[in-house]
Chain A
Amino acid sequence: MCGGAGCGKTLLAMEFLVRGATEFNEPGVFMAFEETAQDLTQNVVSLGFDLNDLVARKKIVLDYVYVERSEIEESGEYDLEGLFIRLGAAIDSIGAKRVVLDTIETLFSGLPNPHILRAELRRLFRWLKDKGVTAIITGERGEGALTRQGLEEYVSDCVIVLDHRVSEQASSRRLRVVKYRGSTHGTNEYPFMIDANGISVLPVTSLGLEHIASSERISSGVARLDAMLGGKGYYRGSSVLISGTAGTGKSSLAAHFADAACHRGERVLYFSFEESPSQIMRNMRSIGIDLQQWITKGLLQIHANRPSSAGLETHLAMKHKSISEFKPQVVILDPLNSFVIGENEIEVKSMLMRLVDFLKTRQITGLFTNLAQSGSPVEQTEVAISSVIDTWLLLRDIDSGGERNRCLSILKSRGMEHSNQIREFLLTDHGVELRDVYVGPEGVLTGSARLTKEAENEATLLIRNQEVELRRIELERKRTTLEAQIAMLRAEFAVQEVASLKIIGQEKAEKAQLAQGRVDMGLSRKVDAKPNKQKGGAK
């Protein structure tokens, strides 16, 4: 294990021993070359380790090796058999399985003839292996090589590099496994942190995308918003982003969600990076959300700290830790973009992706807010994590008619049907309310423009109704007129009919008379031959 000053080599090594002794029943030997046993004991008390107790219970042997160059004179060849005997005695005295040598290269400054030392150290590593103990050897980081002597990293089976880096004035600790014989190991740099519980290493990101997607739906806390999201709200375990310009009600929506989750009896962890807990609670009370009751019940925790208080990795590590401890079902980060300081967008993005991955693997619903810069396109988050977001709500100011009105729309929501409509978003003293906006030929209207338009509409409707009535009456009148005309025509026809029949009758009668007249005339002329009569008649 190697690394520069103050990166936690000794603590990591000590934790290895203490955990081995307390949790795996593997006693250990700590051979210190730099700190005395007393110093060591004192220094690790801050990690919660009681070395005195462990030493008394024969779980750990602390051995301080004192090497003082000025006291030592060399005469002829020597070897480090003394160290071997000493270590061997310590190992045998408690049956140790683990050994730490911290920091062995002190020998190089304390003893003359580095050639002998190099050979002896090689022998030592082999000897430790033969002994069947797991040994951690710490070394200081050298120039060009991992360790100053360039020896340890070649003879070791596993090399871990610790690093303590400062970027943008905030420091973060990282750990990397450089080599590990006989295993496939993660080669990335992993952030780690040292706190009251010792060292915790955090995976950079879950290696695969294999988290289970729940189909359970949870309310967003705003009924109309649930309705917009297919009637049921967000998916459990999804990640929700609320982005919008300043003062569009991002935090209020987040608080609604927290409130709804607490109502369901779930635990909520609220990370605030701009407001203090009491400020959040006061502000949320003004829209009728009482968060204090959930804090009292232990369902809600608000962690407020400045993004600049630590490095990104440390922030991530702290979040991991608090999430692991509190085990919330809902995590809220408000707002994300305050992490962006200067040119660190890539780091912020990778941090947030890891956080989202972490939340997803744990089936925790994450809600993030993002302050969009006015002027830049709202569909672009500054931290560019939109690709890992499942549900993205967009809050927008619409500036028209001398007033600003808030609007909410759903930019995307994976795996559910959702409304494509813009809703007007009102902050009332009993929470967030969503209203339909007026959509007409003049475009989308909100606020008082919407109200005016609605009144106008009503007036127009009234007028239209009247017009319809008028038309109906007109039609009725026309029908009556038409019917009267039809009756008159009928009457006329009847008269004509009667007259025509009369004429026809007369005609018939005349015809009959005429025929009769002819017969009578024939009779009087004494016509004998009938055919002739006809011929003659025809002639």
Chain B
Amino acid sequence: MKTNSAPPELPKATIAQRKIVSSHYVLKLYVAGQSPKSVHAITNIKKICEENLHGRYALDVIDLYQQPQLAQGEQIIAVPTLIRKLPPPLRRIIGDMSNTERVLVGLDI
């Protein structure tokens, strides 16, 4: 695609579009209090986001102990769970986010 210079407009547009879409990451991390896994997850995801999505993301950390009713609404079973609200489609990543590679794949970054 890159070698082909005949239609330069189209790829550019798509790249631009994707950038606009992907520039807006809305992430929600559901944790359970101050458990070691939760603490790890928070640290890890913050690091990943800073490194890969600097300035283009909104991360909410939600403690399910504080708002247990959200577990039902958001279909949370496992903790910690990271939900990518935007861009669609919805993605879930469970675990303490220690495997950065998998998190990136999961978030499709």
Contact = CB atoms under 8 A, between A and B. Distances in A.
Contacts of A491: none
B71 A76 contact: no
A75 B68 contact: no
Interface string A84-119: 011011100000000000000001000100000000
B40 interface: yes
Contacts of B78: 78-83, 111
Nearest to A72: B92
Nearest to B95: A76
A82 B65 CA distance: 9
A74 B103 CA distance: 8
A84 to B, nearest CB: 8
A73 interface: yes
Contact of B71 (A73, A77, A79, A89): A89
Nearest to A71: B92
A463 B89 CA distance: 117
A437 interface: no
Given A82-B64, A82-B78, A86-B68, A75 B32 contact: no
Contacts, number: 106
B30 to A, nearest CB: 7
Interface size class of B (residues with CB under 8 A): 35 or more
A44 interface: no
A86 B76 contact: yes
Contacts of B103: 73, 75
Contacts of A72: 92-94
Nearest to B97: A75
A83 B79 CA distance: 8
Interface size class of A (residues with CB under 8 A): 20 to 34
Contacts of B30: 82
Interface in B20-76: 30, 32, 35, 37, 40-41, 44, 64-65, 68-69, 71-72, 75-76
Contact of A78 (B68, B91, B95): B95
Nearest to B102: A75
Interface string B77-109: 111110000000111111111111011011000
Given A65-B75, A80-B78, A71 B91 contact: yes
Interface of A: 63, 65-67, 71-83, 85-86, 88-90, 107, 111
11 contacts: A65-B77, A72-B93, A73-B106, A75-B97, A76-B40, A77-B37, A80-B77, A81-B32, A81-B78, A82-B71, A85-B68
Interface of B: 30, 32, 35, 37, 40-41, 44, 64-65, 68-69, 71-72, 75-81, 89-100, 102-103, 105-106
